[in-house]
Structure 1
């Protein structure tokens, strides 16, 4: 019963914090997250599609298209700089498209790294998933200018070092980011028939690069040259599909995540995480549960869902919980620096809904 209540509350909360523009606020109660990310938002839209809330998802993708077209001049300048060899490798935030925006589509300045490609690949994947689940084929035509521009941008920039999904390590190349680009390119291959052969070739190049440079000792790497384990590596299989759930590389990667990052039912981001003490992330726990469902371990996935339900606060699901901190000495410093941890985090609610759907608990229209 508690899970059913949280499903309904999650849909209601996401709708409540979707701006008139269509953007999803990452965390309305946390000052530093009162913006919209293409990546987080796409996973939220995906969850809303799975809950039957297709209009909400459509409005988000329309917002993505508006944002990208709004910054077309900047994107074209970045493409030209890279293709012409005029980029010196030093400019980052100034030259490339940002990763987070205001709900009105303006860039957000700040200390965090902004050159980040995963959101641009993810939104393309998400649009395709929206079409599959909602049947709204016409959205591809409406968003064609933004889709074409995003593909041009990713085609030019995919092999450049950029920040990972946690807005860190901007000088490295990350398999998860490449998988996001792969997924977006592969998704659009099905919709843009005139570019299908070009996109198929690009997707294959990206996949081969990851397999050749983003693996070692039979598993995937956090980044090229960095053998650390990161829970976001789950995304290579689900949802990006660069490899299958049963691929030996994925199986061994999940085993490493279980050994190093899983405590009870809570999953940490990576072993060296110090952000708010390095707590457990419900959204990553839901991701592992998603993997377990696809791997036939539904009992374990149900345990994770129950654990997530137990972690909801009065305001909703948090970004992370502090039951098991990797760097407890850092927690108070983050509180002093940035305030209490983010609650609610829409992305946490979204991934809870995805796991509930995978377990057959989420009814369309919840």
Structure 2
């Protein structure tokens, strides 16, 4: 590979070259995260204003709360201070949050809504990111400064939940599929994110407020019980969406049930089976795809998406690496990481990697860089993933 060959041809051996690759990516990630962090606290999914951002791909200079939450966790690991400004942005600027207590699809950097979809995982993931920031720094007593954000977000999730489903239509994290209250269906990843977020909220709010948090824990328990119903014993994997009608398409987002949402352990046989299904159906030539027969590529011509078939998503390779690291399978973890590193022709990690030279991808994707950082540190045991008591 030209980029890495020029930079890292090392007579000392392959191991040193690998470590230098990772160190170079860590350094580029620091710059990319800083580039994505706007002065008012917003964190965009990609900074399209930068010279390195390609033409002819989807413009990602928007705030996705989900992407930004993972970016905050990576920033914790890297020692970059952007988290508090972003949490404040969420509380004060994100349109609709003050009224509804939940976050929507996307936002402009000034906080105006850019998309109306209710994706429950975004609110749950933010609560996890707030908790991670203070737990990682071992300053949980300081979380009181975002008490309003935590309480409003946890209340917002619970307000829209009724026993075993949301009372309004919800969208999945890929922004493509909808659940409906009358079908009592759920996106499994979304429920996992909300379960974890509500538990994190409970841990962050002071003991004297525990009466308030009982509702959050009740909702989390109901969500967790509902997730268990989403495992299909005959197919031997968790369904991505289930209810009165089920969706049997294998989806990589279910890795989130292990990390970061801790609904299942890495060795839970249901997750082992689910990951086996992923490896059979959506891990192609080493790269992990979102789901079967995905067509979104982010490649554009004259303002229109081409949709000529999706590539592998590096962030999903990193997620798979995290899963195997948590399972104690170091070689498998490294294999999924190395596939991405060996596929790169620059220090920028794209949204997708294609098996042809024609299709173009959003690049760099900040979320992909965040997942690289998390997987890198998990794999090397430089940090321990913070587990709840």
TM-score by length of 2: 0.78
Match of 2:186 among 173, 186, 205: 173
Q: What does the per-residue CA deviation read over 1:41-78, in whole Å, with 9 as the maximum and x for residues that have no partner?
A: 1011111112222x22332222222235x5345417xx
1:84 match: none
Deviation string for 1:130-172 (max 9, x for gaps)? 1111234365322222221111110022422411000011235
Of the two structures, which has the highest relative contact order with CA contacts closer than 8 Å and spacing of 6 or more? Answer: 1
Q: 1:48 to 1:73 in 2, by over 3 A?
A: closer
Max radius of gyration: which structure?
A: 2
Tell me by how many angstroms 1:355 deviates.
0.9
CA offset at residue 359 of structure 1? 1.6
- Kindly indicate whether residue 44 of structure 2 is the aligned counterpart of residue 25 of structure 1: yes
Could you tell me which residue of structure 1 aligns to residue 86 of structure 2?
60
Match of 2:73 in 1: 46
Q: Is 1:14 aligned to 2:33, yes or no? A: yes
Cα shift readout 1:84-103 (whole Å, capped 9, x = no counterpart): xxxxxxxxxxxx85221112
| Aligned-pair CA distance for 1:341 | 2.1
> Any idea what the Cα deviations from partners look like across 1:214-249, whole Å, max 9, x if unmatched?
544342101011121100000011110111111111
Give the match's secondary structure for 1:108.
Answer: strand
Q: Which residue does the alignment assign to 1:328?
A: none
* DSSP-derived class of the 2:114 partner: coil
Change (3 A) 1:67 1:240: farther
The corresponding residue for 1:116 is 119
Which position in structure 1 is the counterpart of 2:317? 285
Corresponding position: 1:199 with 2:221: no
**RMSD (Å) for aligned C-alpha atoms:** 2.3
Provide the rounded CA distance (Å) in 1 between the counterparts of 2:289 and 2:97: 37
Structure 2, unmatched stretches of 5+, are 1-19, 49-56, 180-184, 298-308, 385-389
Q: Secondary structure at the match of 1:273?
A: coil
Q: Which residue of 1 aligns with 2:239?
A: 221
Q: 1:71 to 1:261 in 2, by over 3 A?
A: same
Matched residues in 1 for 2:97 and 2:335: separation?
A: 45
2:111 pairs with 1:98: no
2:28 counterpart of 1:3: no
> Aligned with 2:170: secondary structure?
coil
Q: Aligned partners of 1:22 and 1:357: how far apart in 2? A: 26
Q: Deviations over 1:289-341 (max 9, x none)?
A: 000111111112112222222333447110001028xxxxxx98xx7xxxx42
Q: Does 1:310 align with 2:336?
A: no
Aligned twin of 1:209: 226
Specify which structure has the higher proportion of helix: 1
Partner of 1:156: 159
Distance in 1 (CA, whole Å) between partners of 2:286 and 2:91 is 37
Q: Which runs of 5 or more residues in structure 1 are unaligned?
A: 77-95, 325-330
Aligned match for 1:260, one of 256, 275, 281: 281
The structure 2 residue matched to 1:301, chosen from 316, 333, 347, is 333
Give the number of aligned pairs.
328
Q: In the alignment, what sits opposite 1:275? A: 296
SS of aligned partner of 1:275? coil
Question: Whole-Å Cα distance in 2 between the matches of residues 64 and 313 of structure 1?
Answer: 35
